[in-house]
Amino acid sequence: MTKFLLWLLLLFICWPIAIAALILYPIIWLFLLPFRLIGIAVDGVFDLIKAIFKLPSKILKGV
């Protein structure tokens, strides 16, 4: 909601920049999407490595 209100304020102050932002936002979002997916994959790999290293201590705590 705050982003929308800020956009309305920008529309009131300088409408060409607001229209350009409205048009460019989906293009930038599509450009950044692969980087987000790579980030999710790398985070998953780090979580897997952390779980592998913590497995022996979890097994010993269970005994």
pLDDT per residue as tens digits for the range 34-51 = 999 999 999 999 999 999
- Report the distance separating Cα 51 and Cα 44, nearest Å: 10
* Structural domain containing residue 17: 2-62
Number of domains in the chain: 1
Residue ranges in the chain assigned as alpha helix (H): 2-13, 15-62
Residue/partner pairs of 37-43 with CB below 8 Å, 24 or more apart:
none
Give the span between the Cα atoms of 5 and 11, in whole angstroms.
10
> Model-level pTM?
0.58
Give the pLDDT confidence of 23-35 residue by residue, as tens digits: 999 999 999 999 9
Residue 7 and residue 14 in contact, taking contact as beta carbons nearer than 8 Å: no
